[in-house]
Amino acid sequence: MPNPYIPMLTKVKSMVSENEVNDIKTFELEFIKEEEYKNFNYIPGQYAEISIIGKGECPIGIASSPTEEGTIKFTIKKMGTVTSSFHNSDVGDTIGVRGPLGNGWPMEELKGKNIVVIGGGFAFSTLRSLILYVLDEKHRKDYGRVTVIYGNRNSGEVLYRDVLEEWEKRDDIDVVLTIDREEDDWTRKVGFVAAIVKEVAPSSDNAVAVVCGPPIMITTAQNELEKLNWKAEQILNSLEMRMKCGIGKCGRCNIGEKYVCIDGPVFSLAELKQMPKEH
Partner 1 sequence: MDEKILLKDNIGKLYSELEKEYKFYAPTKVKGNIAFSRISNVEEIELEFLNSKVPPKDVLFPQKETIFEYKYEGKDVIIEERKDLEDKLLIFGVRPCDAYSFKLLEDFFAFGDFQDEVFLKKRESSTIIGIGCNNPRQSCFCTSVGGHPFQKESTDVFLSDLGDKYLVEAVSEKGKNLVKKLSWLSDAKKADIDKSKELAKQAEDSFTTKFNFDLVTKVLDENFEHPVWQEISESCIGCSSCTFLCPTCTCFDVIDENDEYNNRGRRIRIWDTCQSCLYTLETSGHNPRPEKIQRCRNRIMHKFSYYPSNYDCVGCVGCGRCISACPVNNELRLIIDKILEIEEKEKGEKISA
Binding residues for partner 1, rule: CB under 8 A, are 1, 3-7, 9, 11, 51, 53-57, 79-80, 83, 92-94, 96, 215, 240-242, 244-245, 247-257, 262, 276, 278-279
- Asked if residue 8 lies in contact with residue 31, where contact means CB atoms within 8 angstroms, the answer is yes
**C-beta atoms surrounding 82 within 10 Å:** 17
For the bound state, the minimum distance from the C-beta of residue 269 to partner 1, rounded and expressed in Å, comes to: 17
For the bound state, the minimum distance from the C-beta of residue 264 to partner 1, rounded and expressed in Å, comes to: 13
**SS3 call for 197:** helix
Report in angstroms the alpha-carbon separations of 27 from 63, 92, 109, 177: 9, 11, 30, 24
Name the residue nearer to partner 1 (CB basis): 181 or 249: 249
Spatial separation of the C-alpha atoms in residues 70 and 38, rounded to whole Å: 9
Name the residue nearer to partner 1 (CB basis): 111 or 249: 249
Q: Which of 22, 234, 18, 242 is nearest to 124 (CA)?
A: 18
Amino acid at 69: E
Q: Residues 220, 128, 42, 144: what is their CA dihedral angle, to the nearest 10 degrees?
A: 80
The count of residues in the chain is: 279
**SS3 call for 180:** coil
Name the residue nearer to partner 1 (CB basis): 171 or 278: 278
Spatial separation of the C-alpha atoms in residues 81 and 152, rounded to whole Å: 25
Name the residue nearer to partner 1 (CB basis): 195 or 247: 247
For the bound state, the minimum distance from the C-beta of residue 185 to partner 1, rounded and expressed in Å, comes to: 30
All residues at 6 or more sequence positions from 184 whose CB lies less than 8 Å from its CB, including other chains: none
For the bound state, the minimum distance from the C-beta of residue 42 to partner 1, rounded and expressed in Å, comes to: 14
For the bound state, the minimum distance from the C-beta of residue 2 to partner 1, rounded and expressed in Å, comes to: 8
For the bound state, the minimum distance from the C-beta of residue 257 to partner 1, rounded and expressed in Å, comes to: 4
Name the residue nearer to partner 1 (CB basis): 196 or 275: 275
Name the residue nearer to partner 1 (CB basis): 7 or 202: 7
For the bound state, the minimum distance from the C-beta of residue 156 to partner 1, rounded and expressed in Å, comes to: 20
Radius of gyration of the chain from its Cα atoms, rounded to whole angstroms: 18
